[in-house]
Structure 1
Amino acid sequence: LDLSPITEGGDAGQALRNSLDLAQLVEALGYRRYWMAEHHNLPGIASAATAVALAHVAAGTASIRVGAGGIMLPNHAPLLIAEQFGTLAALHPGRVDLGLGRAPGSDQVTARAVRRALLGNEESFPSEVVELMSYFQPAQPGQAVQAVPGAGLDVPIWILGSSTFGAQVAAYLGLPFAFASHFAPAMMMQAIAIYRERFRPSAQLATPYVMLGLTVVASESDVEARFLFSSLQQSTLNNRTGRPSRVPPPVEDFEARLDPYARAILADAFACAIAGGPETIRRGLHDMIQRQAQTLVRNRRGSASHPRAEWRSERLRGQSCLRL
């Protein structure tokens, strides 16, 4: 899961080029999916125009699935999303996923600027998901509104969530569920349990399927990984205290400098995070799999401020996964 982090001293263009470089690397390592996420008005994130960013990544890779993790549906007309992802699927058949969330992906002021006169809101999310799904069905004679491209194309839909609401929507509609443990780790087990208990089979999915979004920072040693992790910790703390920033470089002994309030913020945000050397990563991922997730997705929000460090980290993550 990539937010195309913009580092201090960098810009959005470089961030998006870094995303393509990383996608090509993880494709070579055997990763199955590369997702990007919609966030707005954040100086450290370049993936706001998610479908456009995905087109860039899909065009530069050959086989890895690309998808939104996700599109914040209340920000958009369902027909437009069907057309955008229908276009991606037409250009890259069998490689496109569409994850849907109901949060604005921004603060309320920015949400109003994004949505303008849209009729939808968070409460209408389930019905808008159903409407969007209908646009990917084969067009029927006399159908007044069609998604072109989109109608009849294979675009698997996922429901994203950081609460039990998304779990219930995914279960009711019989869709795969991706939980954002990097946003709400305390809700993870309850949301997964509700999803599995209430799941109803559908044409897309016969049995429940869970993907966990995790913050994972890998390096050659636990000490080096904790050092790299400090970039993400700084960025997260800035965002959660109303001071959004570009991703800063890592610093030594960052946690030792924090007051109790800041420590509590980071403890909550990263309750499910894994940072360490290969063996630490292997044990952490194994534990997460034991918590009933079929798939793990690594959240990329800028765990290292230098691309080479991140590419090395990704190789180590992949090696750890192979040994699970």
Structure 2
Amino acid sequence: MYKHTHDKARKFNHIPLSILDLAPIVEGSTASDSFKESVELAQHAEKWGYNRYWLAEHHNMPGIASSATSVLIGHIAGNTNYMRVGSGGVMLPNHATIVIAEQFGTLESLYPGRIDLGLGRAPGTDQATAYALRRTLHMGPEDFPMQVNELQDYFSDDPVSRVRAIPGQGLDIPIWLLGSSDFSARLAAEKGTYFSFASHFAPAYLLQALKLYRDNFKPSDKLDKPYAMIGVNVIAADTDEQANYLASSHQMQFLNIRKGIQSKLQAPVKNMDEIWTPMEKAAVEESLDPNTTIVGGPDTVKQKLEKIQEATEADEIIISSQIYHLEDRLRSYEIVSELMK
């Protein structure tokens, strides 16, 4: 059974904190620049005591560089020493299951005991790009439970399938199911896996999904009790005023998604009211709930992180910080790390 070993990770209120890196491509930069910044952030994160560092699969998005997620996971793991590195997540319907088993079997063989496999069932892109990835849309989110079963079989010591994942077979790679609704919460409970909820962009169903997961959890040979991680956006700075200024980049990103505009991560602005209408502002704020999008100086961030942990009883919190300048992004994660005991 995979055991959580947080011996090198510092704790915030007795739980570990982790990082979700969307590998942002900021205005005026390239994917190559993004990857260099991710390595620098990961190396600092390890030093600061973060528990794990996850990267997310997105496609056809000019502002996100982590489309080849497995490749980037290997790059980050190769430039760090002991921090866990994984996917938050791999969108399983986009792939042949055997390929993911082989990729993560390879990663685990290269970096033993450090690799996490977080799985999502959404395409992580638009329909046209999903078709380009799959060549057919016959396989969809409704087939996700079957794909998870296949993946678990590939990793088992005695697989049922005649096709073997090499490397992969017999490796103890923790599988996390990721969700923004109740579907993955129910499936994670049924299968006895780790569960991570995407409350950083879908806060409305957070408490409901956690309750479903915990109430229906069935122990497995991999996990004997529920383990839930929640996603939180944190934009931290030395003052509330500075943090609110930096947060405008994240707000513009969500505004552009709402408007169907593809763009890189934009530089912060002093007044968002010059950019969005009141209706657009309300729509963005619905996704960026103040309970799960925390913006402020150290005291504000500490108070709000404590509040969300108490409300959810999360076992772990994973933090996303869409901040334009690398030095500001590093400072944000450093401030949070200083809150860890």
Shorter-chain TM-score: what band? over 0.9
RMSD, aligned α-carbons: 1.3
Post-superposition offset of 1:257? 4.7
8-17 or 118-127, which deviates more: 118-127
Aligned residue for 2:340, secondary structure, equals: helix
284-293 or 253-262, which deviates more: 253-262
Q: Which runs of 4+ in 1 moved over 4 A?
A: none
- Residue by residue over 1:92-139, the C-alpha shift from the partner in whole angstroms, topping out at 9 and shown as x without a partner, is 000000000100000111111111137521101011101101111114
Aligned residue for 1:196, secondary structure, equals: helix
Equivalent residue number for residue 300 of structure 2: 280
Do the aligned residues in 2 keep the contact of 1:279 with 1:320 (CA within 8 Å)? no
Change (3 A) 1:255 1:205: farther
Residue segments in structure 1 that go unaligned for 5+ positions in a row: none
Do the aligned residues in 2 keep the contact of 1:223 with 1:276 (CA within 8 Å)? yes
Task: From 250, 260, 272, give the equivalent of 1:242.
Answer: 260
Give the counterpart letter for 1:297 in structure 2: I
Equivalent residue number for residue 131 of structure 1: 150
Do the aligned residues in 2 keep the contact of 1:72 with 1:101 (CA within 8 Å)? yes
Residue segments in structure 2 that go unaligned for 5+ positions in a row: 1-19
CA distance in 2, matches of 1:143, 1:101: 23
Do the aligned residues in 1 keep the contact of 2:131 with 2:137 (CA within 8 Å)? no
CA distance in 1, matches of 2:198, 2:320: 9
Equivalent residue number for residue 80 of structure 1: 99
Post-superposition offset of 1:256? 6.2
CA distance in 2, matches of 1:174, 1:240: 35
Equivalent residue number for residue 66 of structure 2: 47
Do the aligned residues in 2 keep the contact of 1:77 with 1:118 (CA within 8 Å)? no
Post-superposition offset of 1:183? 2.1
Taking the TM superposition and a 5 Å limit, the aligned residue runs for 1:149-228 are 149-228=167-246
Post-superposition offset of 1:321? 3.2
Aligned sequence identity (%):
47
Change (3 A) 1:119 1:133: farther
Change (3 A) 1:165 1:143: closer
Task: From 81, 98, 113, give the equivalent of 2:117.
Answer: 98
Taking the TM superposition and a 5 Å limit, the aligned residue runs for 1:20-39 are 20-39=39-58
CA distance in 2, matches of 1:204, 1:133: 11
TM-score (norm 1): 0.96
Equivalent residue number for residue 315 of structure 2: 294
- Residue by residue over 1:145-195, the C-alpha shift from the partner in whole angstroms, topping out at 9 and shown as x without a partner, is 110000111210000000000101101000111000122111111111111
Post-superposition offset of 1:225? 0.5
Equivalent residue number for residue 144 of structure 1: 162
Change (3 A) 1:266 1:118: closer
Give the counterpart letter for 1:292 in structure 2: E
Aligned residue for 2:21, secondary structure, equals: coil
1:318 aligns with 2:337: yes
